Amino acid sequence: MIEAGEQAPDFTLPDQGGNQVSLAGFRGRRVVLAFYPADFSPVCTDQLSVYQEVLGELEAQGVVLLGISVDGAFCHKAFRDHLGLGFPLLADFHPKGAVARAYGIWSEEFGVSGRALVMVGPEGDVEWAHLASPLELPGANLIFDALDQRTPA
């Protein structure tokens, strides 16, 4: 898995509306990439719901939250609408898992991304990363703890 201090691989992926979103477009801002295996799975549903609950607090700290999985944009739209999410879900769909591979969290065994959080700093460097076990729900407390230890943007 990618580690703190490394340059975050840039990417451009479609969001739930088919709009192209690039990591480079957020330069100057702190971004948390929330990688998850699949829309509508129980743990992923809980994980993203938790992040939605604290979205306002993250945004107040200047953080942009992006969800990423290998599901397609149409599936992301349905999942986002179902949960009432206020942050983009990006489709690492084709080539399948290319971004997850670049970040070192691809699961060849299951054909999906691992469950991970990666904090990218304003200059595009990885400030913090956490790889969860398959059924672990990486809580928002992990993000807030990492933010408390960061250098101000």
Dmax over CA atoms of the chain, in Å, equals 39
Catalytic residue chosen out of the listed positions 31, 44, 75, 91: 44
44 catalytic per annotation? yes
Sequential DSSP letters for 22-55: EGGGGTTSEEEEEE-S-TT-HHHHHHHHHHHHTH
Q: Is the N-terminal amide bond of 95 cis, ω within 30° of 0?
A: yes
**How many Å apart are CA 77 and CA 39, to the nearest integer?**
10
Q: Which two tokens stand for residue 71?
A: 């599901």
Q: What are the catalytic residues?
A: 44
